[in-house]
Chains A and B, each alone.
Chain A
Amino acid sequence: MRSKESIKSITLVILFITSLILSSQIFFRIESESISDNNSVVWIEKKKNINNYFSPQSYFVNFGGSLHTVIYNLEEKREITNIVSNCFKNLADYNSFVEIDYNKWQEVISKRGIRFNMNFDIEFDDFISLLVSNNIEFDSKWNVSEVNIILGENIYIRSDNKYYSFNNINRETDKFEKVISKIENSYLEYKSIEEIYSLNSILNLDSGFRINNNLIPIIKIADIPIIEVVNEVDIKNEKNMIIKSYVSRILGTNFIRKVYDYEGSVIYMIGYGEKSLKIDSNGYFEYNEKLLENKNQLDFAEGLNMSINALSTISNLPSNTYLSNYYKYNKNENEITRYEFDYSYGGYEVLLNDKDESAFVVEFNGSQLSYISRRYKKFTKLINVNKIWESALPINMVINKNYEIISKNYLNNKGVFINLSNNEYIYEILQNIKGMEIRYYLKDADGEEKLVPVWELEIGKWTYFINIYDGVIVSSINNEVNN
C-alpha cells in the first residue's frame, strides 16, 4: 500500500518537472523570436530587399509602331523591374531631367519601349528608394504617375499633367532589347484605344484632345482559370493550434482577455485594450495598439522594411506581394504613416472587395507600430474554364453589354439626363476609359469563395469589375463618392 503511494508521488513529481521543462521551452522559443521592444513580443527585424515590393500595375510593351502587348507574367515583370532598378541605381544628379511638352511625350509613346503606370502616385524620392532598395532623399516633392522607357533613348516620366525626360541615366539598352525580343516571340496583341477607335478624328476636339494610350486586347483572351480559396485561419475551430500560434506571435503568451463580438469575431487583448488582435469570420487579422506620444520619424525605406517584417511575423507574406499605396494622415492629432500592400496570383492582382481595401496594411505613429491588417485568402485549387467559356468576351462586346449602366453613370456624373437610346455619347465614353486591367476578384458563390478574373474598367468617375468571360458586372464603384 505504501509502495503504491510512493509510485504515485514519484509519478506526480515527474509530471510536474516535465511540465516545467516543456513550458520553459515554449517561453524560451517565443523570447528568442521577440526582439527590440521591452513591453511585449514585437516583430522580427531583418533587412528586407524592399525592391521586391515594387510593382507597377502592368507593363505595356511597344514593339515599335502599333504592335503592343501587356505583361502580367510575374517572371517577366520581375526581370523588367530589375532592369528599371539598374537604370536608377546611380542616379546622383537629380537635376538631370528636363520638362518636356505633351507632344513630345506622345511622340515617344509610339516608339519601341516599355511603359507602366504606378499603382498610386508615388513621390519621386520614394519611387527611387523603392527601386534601389535604399532611402534616397532628393527633396523632389513631385509624384510619379507613369514611366516610359524608350530603347536607346531617355526615360520619360509623367507626373499628372507634367512630363519629364531623364537624360543622365543608365540606359540599359541591351538588357531592355533582350527582354523585349524575348517577349516578342510570343505575345497577345493589344492596340491602344486611339488606334482602334480613331477618336481624335471623330471627336474633333482640336488642341484639347489627349490621345488615349490605354491598351485593349485584339486577340481573344483565354485560359485564365478561376481560383478556389479559403480563409487563412478558421476561428470556428477554437482548438486550432494555428490560431494560438498566431496570437502568441503577435501578442506574446501573456494576453489577458479573449472576447467574442456579435459578428462572431474573436478578440485577444492585453491590459485594457492597449494592444488587441481581432480575427474575424473571414480569417482576417486586425491588430491595434493604443497611440502613444511618439515623435520619432521613420524614413520611407525604414518604415517599409518594418512593415514587411511585421506582416511576416504573423505569417510569411505571399511571394507576389507588392506595395500598393503609401500616405500619411492625421488621427487624434498624431501623424500616421500608412503602408498598404496587395498580392497577385498568376500575375493578376487580387481584389478582395470593391471598397479599395488593401490586403495588408501597416500603420505607424512616429516609430510606433500602431495598426496591422492582414486580409489574405489561401489558394486551394484551380478551376479551368475552357469547358464553360471558350474565351473572354472582346471589349466592344463588354461595353456593348453594359452600355446602359455605363452611359447612365457617366452622364449622371456630367449632369446630363437624356434618353438612353441616344448613343451620341459613345465616342466620349470610349475616350474617357482611364484604365483597363485584368484582376482577380473575390466572389462568394454557393458558400465557396472564388477568385474570378475580371476586367477592372475605369470610365470617367466609375470603376467596373466585369467578369471577362460572360461580361457581367460583378461590382462597380463611384470613385468620387468613395474618395
Chain B
Amino acid sequence: MKSFRKLTIAILSIIILSSLFVFADDADVKYDLNDYLEIINPSFTEIDNVEVKNSLFISMNIKQEEDMYLTVKRIVPVMDELYFDKIINDEIDKDELINSIADRVIDINSINEMEIINDESIVTERERITSVIRRYVEEYIKNKQMQLEFVTMTREVNLVYINLVGDYDHVIIEKYNKLREEYFTELKIFNEIRNDYNELFKVKILDKDKIISAGVMPYYEKNLQDISAGRYEMVIELFDEDRYMLKKINFNVVIKQEEEIIIEDKIELIQSPIIKFDLEE
C-alpha cells in the first residue's frame, strides 16, 4: 500500500513538473514576423540601398495567412533643429517658425488642414500638427537648456571628484544626482515627442495595404510607381486576437542616372521659407 502511494506521488510529481516545463515553454514562445512572411523585394542583401528605375517593387512570400498590413512612408529630410537653436538666441520668432513648419508638413503630406479630426473638441488637422510641432519645439528648447545645465554641472562634479582629497561637497553631489535624474526623465519624454514630430515628415505612399496572397500564389506583390530617391520606411503590422506585431525597415532608394536630381530635391526640401530668409542674411 505504501509503495503504491509512493508510486502515485512520484507519478503525480512527474506530471506536475512536466506541466510546469510546458507552461514555461509556452511563456517563452517568441513570435517573429519572419514566421509569417519573408520579404523578397526590396532586397536588403547589400547595405540598405535599394536601386530602382522609377518604381519600387515589393514582393513577399506569405508563409502563414494572418491579418497583416503594409505601410510605406517616404522620410522627408528635416534639418529644422538648426533653427530651434536660433529661437533660444531670440534670432527667430518661435510662433513664426512653428507656423512655417506646419505649412510645410501640410504641403508635403497634401492634407486638408481644415479637416476635423476630433468632433467633440473640434480640432482640425492643422491644429493637431501645430500642437505636435509646438510640443516638440518647446521640449527641444527645454531639453537644450537642461542639457547645458547638466553638462556644466557634470564638469563641476568631475572637478569635485578629481579634488577628492580636498573638500567633498555633498550638496553639489546631491544636486547633481537630482539634476541627472531629471535630465534623463526629460530626455525620455523628449525622445517620445521627437518620434511624434518625425512622424509628421513621413509621407505615406502606401497606407495599410492588406498583405494577402494572390489566389493560389502565396505571394504579395506591389509596385509603387513614380518613386523618387530618398529614405523610406516600410512598416509591417500583424493584428491578432491576442497579439500585435510591428516591424519597421528603413532603407534608401537610389535611382540610377538621377543623382543630380536627388541633390536638387534635397536642397529644395531644406529651403523652407525660413531658410530662404536665413540664406539672404
Check A195 against B43 for contact (C-beta < 8 Å). Answer: yes
Nearest Cβ on chain B to A121's Cβ, whole angstroms = 32
Q: Contact mask B56-77 → A, CB, 8 Å, 1/0?
A: 0101010000000000000000
Complex: how many Å from CA A187 to CA B257?
A: 14
Contact B57 A189 (CB under 8 A): yes
A401 to B217, CA, bound (A): 10
Complex: A65 Cα to B219 Cα, angstroms = 22
- Say yes or no: A396 contacts B51, CB within 8 Å: no
Contact A218 B223 (CB under 8 A): yes
B216 adjacent to A218 (CB under 8 Å): no
Contact among B40, B216, B256 for A67, CB-based, below 8 A = B256
CA distance A395 to B53 in the complex (A): 20
Q: How far is the CB of A187 from chain B (nearest CB, A)?
A: 7
B214 and A196: CB pair below 8 A?
A: no
Residues of B within 8 A of A (CB): 38, 40-41, 43, 51-53, 55, 57, 59, 61, 214-219, 221, 223, 256-257
Complex Cα gap A251–B151 (Å): 105
Q: How far is the CA of A65 from the CA of B57 in the complex (A)?
A: 14
Closest chain A residue to B46, Cβ basis: A65
- Taking residues whose C-beta sits less than 8 angstroms from the other chain, chain A's interface range is 20 to 34
Residues on B with C-beta less than 8 A from A17 are none
Partner among A196, A219, A400 whose Cβ is within 8 Å of the Cβ of B40 = A196
Contact A394 B53 (CB under 8 A): no
Q: Mark A400-436, 1 if CB is under 8 A from B, else 0.
A: 1101000000000000000000010010000000000
Supplied contacts A187-B53, A396-B217, A423-B218, 14 more A-B pairs, CB within 8 Å: A184-B256, A184-B257, A191-B41, A196-B41, A198-B40, A219-B223, A396-B219, A397-B214, A397-B215, A400-B214, A400-B215, A403-B215, A426-B216, A426-B218
A67 pairs with B53, CB closer than 8 A: yes
For the complex, what is the distance from the CA of A66 to the CA of B53, rounded to whole Å?
A: 10
A201 part of interface (Cβ distance < 8 Å): yes
- For residue A189, which residues in chain B have a CB less than 8 angstroms away from its CB? 53, 55, 57
Residue of A nearest to B63 (CB): A202
User: Of residues 159 to 213 in A, which have CB atoms within 8 Å of B's CB atoms?
Assistant: 184, 187, 189, 191, 195-198, 201-202
Please indicate the chain A residues that have their CB under 8 angstroms from the CB of B59 in the complex.
196-197
Within 8 Å of chain B (Cβ to Cβ): is A399? Answer: yes
* Chain B residue contacts of A65, Cβ below 8 A: 51
Residues of B within 8 A of A403 (CB): 215-216
Selected from B57, B61, B219, the residue in CB contact (under 8 A) with A191 is: B57
B218 touches A219 (CB 8 A): no
B-chain residues with CB within 8 Å of residue A187 when the two chains form the complex = 53
Q: Say if the beta carbon of A120 comes within 8 Å of chain B.
A: no
Does A63 belong to the interface (CB within 8 Å)? yes
A400 contact from B41, B217, B257, Cβ within 8 A: B217
**Contact between chains at A218 and B51 (CB < 8 Å):** no
**Main SS class of interface, B:** strand
CA distance A219 to B257 in the complex (A): 20
Docked-complex contact B57 and A197, CB < 8 angstroms:
no
A-B contact pairs, 13 of them (CB 8 A): A63-B256, A67-B51, A197-B59, A197-B61, A201-B38, A202-B61, A218-B55, A218-B223, A219-B55, A394-B221, A399-B216, A400-B215, A403-B215
Q: Which residues of B contact A219 (CB under 8 A)?
A: 55, 223
* In the bound complex, CA of A184 to CA of B223 (Å): 19
| A219–B224 CA distance with the chains assembled, in angstroms | 10
CB <8 Å contact, B55 and A197: no
Q: Which residue of A lies closest to B38 (CB)?
A: A198
Residues of chain A contacted by B257 (CB below 8 angstroms): 184
Q: Are B51 and A197 in touch, CB under 8 angstroms?
A: no
Task: Please state if A218 and B57 are interface contacts (CB–CB under 8 Å).
Answer: yes
Residue from A201, A394, A400 in contact with B216 in the complex, judged by beta carbons closer than 8 Å: A400
> Which of chain A's residues has its CB closest to B216's CB?
A403
A423 to B214, CA, bound (A): 13
The answer to whether A66 touches B43, judged by C-beta atoms less than 8 angstroms apart, is yes
Chain A residue nearest to B52 (CB atoms) is A67
- Chain B residues lying within 8 Å of A399, measured Cβ to Cβ, are 216-217
Q: Mark A58-91, 1 if CB is under 8 A from B, else 0.
A: 0000010111000000000000000000000000
Q: Interface code A273-301, partner B: CB below 8 Å = 1, 0 otherwise?
A: 00000000000000000000000000000
Q: Are the CB atoms of B43 and A423 closer together than 8 Å?
A: no
A403 and B52 alpha carbons, distance in the complex (Å): 31
- Chain A nearest CB, measured from B29 CB (Å): 24
Bound CA–CA A394/B216 (angstroms): 14
Contacts of B217 in A (CB 8 A): 396, 399-400, 426
Is A197 a contact partner of B216 (Cβ separation < 8 A)? no
In the complex, A394 Cα to B221 Cα: how many Å? Answer: 10
Distance (whole angstroms) from the CB of A199 to the closest CB of chain B: 9
Cα A66 to Cα B43 with chains together (Å): 9
CA distance A309 to B13 in the complex (A): 96
Which 8 pairs of residues, A with B, have the shortest CB-CB distance?
Answer: A400-B215, A198-B40, A403-B216, A396-B217, A218-B57, A396-B214, A423-B216, A189-B53
Choose from A63, A66, A184, A198 the contact partner of B61 (Cβ within 8 Å). A198
Least Cβ distance of A432 to chain B in Å?
15
Whole-angstrom CA separation of A195 from B42 in the bound complex: 10
Cα of A365 to Cα of B45 in the assembled complex, Å: 58
What 1/0 mask marks residues of chain A from 210 to 237 whose CB sits below 8 Å from any chain B CB?
Answer: 0000000011000000000000000000
Distance A445 CA – B38 CA, assembled complex (angstroms): 45
**Is A396 within 8 A of B221, CB to CB?**
yes
Q: CA of A191 to CA of B51 in the docked complex: distance in angstroms?
A: 13
Once the chains are docked, how many angstroms separate the CA of A396 from the CA of B216? 9
Please name all residues of chain B whose beta carbon is closer than 8 Å to the beta carbon of A396 when the two chains form the complex: 214, 217, 219, 221
Which residues of chain A are near B223, meaning CB under 8 Å?
Answer: 218-219
